Amino acid sequence: MDKEEQQKPLKEEIPTDKSETKNNDEVQVNEATSQNIEEEEKELTPEEKIKELEDKLARTFAEMENQRRRFEKEKEDAFEYGGFTFAKEALNLIDNLERSKQVLKNDEKLKNTEALQKTLEHLDIINEDLVSIFSKNNIKPIDCLNRKLDPNFHQAMMEIEDDNKEPGTIIQEIQKGFTIKDRLLRPSLVGVSKKKDKKNQESAENNENKENN
């Protein structure tokens, strides 16, 4: 046997082309992707596609309608309650008129005079005009006397002993409250009744008996 034959390798190495292997892998992936897309397209019939588009369109219209309603509500609130702060400040006119009347009535020099009577009449006319203007703009006074205290419309400032009224009944109006539309503009400041204290009642009865004796 020759030396050249002895040196010849027993198995020849097979060359590997990496680029060719990579291309083969990409082709397989693309084929798989195409196959999945085709399967998905095959799953949806034309009728199903139309149904899907109709559902999307219906949801879009529903969202547009909700936005329109929200816009209309915001516009309505801005129109109806936009003057809320102005209306609340304007109530000071009625308060000042009422204070002026009380000051004039308590003036000793003016009591029982014709000038006082005419002045009070004019103030009453102005007050009625203001209330009328407010009412036309849905600003109305709260009727509270002889009613049960309602925290939504009334604010209790004091308790007054009165056994003739059920406890919690409004028996004094300190400052008139108002509403605008269905909202509270300002609460009525009131005094409410409560049962007389037993000790005070017994003491008053004893004093009365002593005076009678």
Q: Model confidence over 123-144: pLDDT tens digits?
A: 999 989 988 888 888 888 999 9
pLDDT for position 3: 47
Report pTM. 0.54
CA distances 201 to 159, 163, 188, 197, 204, Å, are: 16, 10, 30, 6, 5
pLDDT for position 76: 66
Provide the percentage of residues in the chain whose pLDDT is more than 70.
Answer: 67
pLDDT for position 84: 77
Provide the percentage of residues in the chain whose pLDDT is more than 90.
Answer: 15
Average pLDDT of the chain to the nearest whole number: 76
The superfamily (CATH) of domain 141-206 is Head domain of nucleotide exchange factor GrpE (2.30.22.10)
Torsion angle (degrees, nearest 10) of CA 153, 158, 159, 161: -130
How would residue 154 be classed by pLDDT, with cut points 50, 70 and 90? very high
Q: Greater confidence, 209 or 96?
A: 96
Q: Is the dihedral angle over the CA atoms 74, 77, 83, 88 positive or is it negative?
A: negative
Specify the range with the lowest mean pLDDT, choosing from 15-24, 31-40, 92-101, 180-189.
15-24
Residue ranges per structural domain of the chain: 71-137, 141-206
